[in-house]
Structure formats: structure tokens, C-alpha cells
Amino acid sequence: MESASQQYADGTPRHDELGRWDIDPADAEAWVQAGYWPTTTMVDDFRAVVAATPDRPAVVCYRQGRDEPVTFTYGQLGALVDRFAGALLELGIGPGDVVSLQLPNSWEFPALTLAILSVGGVVNPLVPIFRHRELSFILERTASKLLVVPREFRGFDHGELAARLVAELPTLQAAFVTDGEAPEGARSFDEFFVSRRWEDRPDLAAELAARRPRPTDLVEIQFTSGTTGEPKGVLHDHRTVWASGRGLVSSLGVTPDQAGFMASTLAHQTGFLFGLAGPLGRGAKVVYQDVWDAAAALRIFDAEQIVWTVSATPFVVDLINAQQEVGASLESFRYFVCGGAPIPPHVVSAAAETLDCELVAVWGMTENGVVTSTAPGSPIEVVANSDGIPVPWMQLRVVDEDGAELPVGETGRLQVRGPSQALGYFRRADVYAASCTADGWFDTGDLAWRRDDGGIRISGRAKDLVIRGGENVPVAEVEAVLYTHGKVRELAVIGLPDDRLGERACAVVVPEDEADPPTLVELVRFLDEAGMAKQYWPERLEVVAAMPRTPSGKIQKFLLRQQFGAR
């Protein structure tokens, strides 16, 4: 594949210093005229809803261990956005400054996101599973000025880690802690952001007017795991965020008065698009659950009259199992939009029979949101054996190694382009260039084949990833750490099929001493001590005498997957 050049013919760069690539002006104009790109921003759309329907429910938050949910109307949420914007001005956050949020699903997340954008800043969502290793890399790379975390979440002390990061990173000016007393080295979010009436600042209105974002301004830097061992910061502006999430609205006909549910973290692109940017720009009610609990989710569906949700395949499996015990009415529930892993045929039929809902299969990436989708009313065979047809505004092709388009049924590299495609990778224009072809297509790294009905089926990955419950496991990074373990001579981390999560990571190890191989407990303890997120740890260990290799010496992971996947 011939990669895109980083320069125009006259030698000028095709991207800025952030790694944001130029968009062809003709494409930009065509996408606006076709309605694929907006002329407003997330902030504009949200404030318009606040002005029109201030009493309409905006977010409803269900927190583990709390009996009653907390509800905010659009008027209340809008007031918090202004208050938090004033606080950010007081802290000196200005245009282009990065603010990082590692928060559970809660009202603080959307209020802070919209406030950051209102003052011209850029949001850096961080999934809650990240620990010191991932956070220190991302915060240093982005030169993030502020970090906001919960005091404690799911048994982990985020406050202490945040305070440690402030001491270690000179560019990180402060860390704020929600839901509890801040440890030494961090500050209280409630005390500084919530309790003070920053909306009364005399300069607030003028400052917000002067800093009003434009559609071309960055919204987020969303880090995603790749094959290089280094997370990549995906860049999206107001236009690409809007285009990335619009597939749900157009394909399902969901209206603003039909409530949605989000249990996937808002810090993941799925949650960010369908739990925040989309609903709150349209005036819809969205219901958050901070810790996934399928039985509790079913009760929430009935209590809040949930119509739709978007998440990964394991969530569907859990709901089906829970419904057999809970027996919720689910009279309002209609659609489960499902991605991140293949949907087995029995799950499609079980969802219809047990949950009385329709599964809609979608495919996309952090880099481009929803690219393909099955249509409502599709037969079980289509939903289970297809990843959908391209949405109207995106193009895709399946090509061989030379870039020649392949006929129906033949497997090749999946490439896409269109208005929801990301603008680049943060300060890694070279990495993004390597993923783009000379003729303007983004190579997804996935292998796929085209169906007779115009749909596609993802058949594998050219890139070396394990996808566990919709979350990418950065295989190269895990391997790099485990290679330093004293008992490991060689290893390969592979994904093995799992009925619930799609895949689980397995470490295949050639030990230094055959008589004293490492145990799985030793390996995961080593990763824990290295500060790696628990969800990235291998959940199975296989010890072998030697690795299968190509003539050039590369480990043949597909043979390992065949060998151990059959067990």
C-alpha cells in the first residue's frame, strides 16, 4: 500500500503541528451542502435546546450503591455548564488547552465537556481502566493542564494516582477529585467547581462570546490502542463528531422524545457519541449507569421508558440472561445497536424472544464512528452474518495488497473515507500518513469481504489487536512489558474466542527454564506492578517449547490461535 505523502507537491505540509490533516475544500463544501457536516457546533446545539426546552430532562444518573437516581433538566445542566466554564476561566484554560476527564458515567462528564468546549478547550476522555502507565503517557503527550477523576471508583483510588501524576508531570497544573475529600496534592472538584457561583463572573458572557467554538475547532483527543505499542490520539472536530454519530438517528428514526440508555463509558467513543454528543445536541433524555449491572439495567429500562441503547455484544448476552430471572416488562424498549464483536445467530433470536427488541449490527472505529449498519427489520441471518451496509455518507472498499478492488466474496483490506473520518493522530502525522493511501483512503487494518447484498463482513484483523468486550487490548504494549519478565524467553499475546466477551487475551510463552515456567499469577502481578490496566492482562497462559515461525522468523500467531482456540 502506497501511503499518503505528508507534503503537497510544493513541499508545504498537509497537516498542522497537532497532526490534523487538511480537508479538500471541495469535499468540505459538498459534505456541508449534502447535510453530512453541520454549520453549528456541539455547544451551539446544546444551548439552543436549553433555550427552547429548559424543563425537559437531559441526563438521569444511576450510581451503584445509591437508591435513587439524580436527574438534571436541560436548564439545570446549562447552568452547570456556565458555572464550570467560569471555573475553567479562573484556572486559565484557554483556546487549544487540553483538559482530561477520567470519570464514570455521571452528570459531571457532559457538564464539563460542554464547559471545556465553551471556553475553547479540547476534551481528552480517559477510560476508567487506565492506570499509571497509560495515564502518564497520554497526559504528557497532550500536555494536559487539568485532570478530573473520581476519588474512588470500582475499588481503585483514582485520587491518589491523580495526585501522584501532578507531582510527576510538569505540564499537569492540577487534578480535581469528585465524590470525596481530595488527597494531598489534588483539589476538591465540588469545592472549586460546584460550590462557587462562577456564572456570576462579570466577564463570563463576553468571554464565552469571544471564545465561541467554530465547527472546525477540535472537540476531542480520543486515545485508542494500536499495533505499535503506543496509543494513538484520534482527532475529531465538531463536524466529524456530528457525522460519526448521526447513523443512529437516520437508520432507526429515533426521535428526541425517545429516551436512550448508556452503560458503556462516556470516555469511550461509543459513549461519547451516543451518550453525550448526539442526545444532548438534539434535546433527548439519556440515562447513565456508572457500573454495568444487567439486572439493574432492565429495571431502569422500565422506570425510564428506554427505547434504545448502544453497546457491545457482551452487554446483550448479559441482558438476555438477566431478563430470564428479572422478568422486566420492557414495553418501551425497541433497539439494541450492537458493535465491537460478532453477534452469534442465537443471540439475535434470543434478543427478539427474551428482550422483545431488535438488534442492529454496526461497524466502525474510534477514527470514524458508525460506517456500516444493518437496517431495522433485517432477517436474523443478515444481522448475525453481516456488519451492515455503508451508511450513505461514507464510502468503503475491499482491496488486495496492491490496492486493487476485490470482487464480492474475496477477503482483503477494508478501507474507508468520508465526512466522519478523523482528522489525524495527535502529533503523529507520520503514523496517520502510514494508515492512509496515496489516493485518500483510510486503511482500517481490518480484513473483510463484501456480501451480495452490498454489506460487508469483518473476517479478521491485519493489525495485531485483541478486542475484549469491545475494548481494544494493545497487544504490542502488553508483550513489551512481559518480555522483561525474568522467566520469559519468548511470548506472543493472542486473542481466543469467548462466548461473552468476543475474545480474551492468552499469553503463549517459551520459558527461560523449562523446569520453572512462569505462572499466570506471576505474569499478571508483573503487569500490575508495571501499572498496566487490568483489562489488558492475559486471562490464560499456554507454555510451549517453541513458536511457529515464518521463514523470515516472524511468529505465526494464526497457528497459535488455531492450536489453542480449539481447546
Is there a single domain that holds both residue 502 and residue 558? yes
Q: Is residue 302 part of a domain?
A: no
Predicted confidence (pLDDT) per residue in 258-295, tens digit: 999 999 999 999 999 999 999 999 999 999 999 999 99
Q: Is 322 domain-assigned?
A: no
In a domain, 378, yes or no: no
* Residue from 374, 116, 367, 336 nearest 251 by CA: 374
CATH number, domain of 489, equals 3.30.300.30
Regarding whether 555 and 480 lie in a shared domain, the answer is yes
Provide the residue range defining the domain that includes 417. Answer: 1-22+394-463
Same domain, 557 and 472: yes
Contacts of 247 (CB under 8 A, 6+ apart): 362, 364, 369, 370, 373, 391
Identify which of 276, 274, 283 has the alpha carbon closest to the alpha carbon of residue 255. 283
Which residues in the chain show pLDDT less than 70? 225-229, 247, 250, 463, 550-554
Contacts of 526 (CB under 8 A, 6+ apart): 481, 482, 485
Question: Domain boundary at 411, 439, 463, which?
Answer: 463
Same domain, 561 and 473: yes
Number of domains in the chain: 2
User: Domain for residue 195, yes or no?
Assistant: no
Residues 420 and 476 in one domain: no
Rounded CA separation 50/43 (Å): 11
Measured CA angle at 62 (ends 175, 224), to 5 deg: 50
Both 545 and 475 in one domain: the answer is yes
Q: Are residues 482 and 535 in the same domain?
A: yes
Residues 420 and 499 in one domain: no
C-alpha cell at 542: 499456554
CA angle 50, 54, 57 (to 5 degrees): 105
Q: Rounded CA gap, 508 and 490, in Å?
A: 8
Q: What is the pLDDT of residues 496-532, one digit of tens each?
A: 999 888 899 999 999 999 999 999 999 999 999 999 9
Nearest to 470 by CA among 386, 344, 345, 364: 364
Is 455 found in the same domain as 414?
yes
Q: Give a yes or no: residue 444 inside a domain.
A: yes
In a domain, 515, yes or no: yes
Considering the domain architecture, whether residues 441 and 526 belong to the same structural domain is answered as no
Among 416, 441, 463, give the residue marking a domain's end. Answer: 463
CATH number where 419 lies? 2.30.38.10
Instruction: Assess whether 472 and 557 both reside in one domain.
Output: yes
- At residue 228, the pLDDT reads 43
> Which residues partner with 239 through β-bridges?
none
pLDDT value for 229 = 53
Domain C-terminal end among 421, 444, 463: 463
Q: Which of 517, 509, 516 is nearest to 490 (CA)?
A: 509
- Does 539 share its domain with 490? yes
- Residue 398 domain-assigned (yes or no): yes
Instruction: Decide if 529 is inside a domain.
Output: yes
DSSP 350-397: HIIIII--EEEEEEEETTTEEEEEPPTT--HHHHHH---EEPTT-EEE
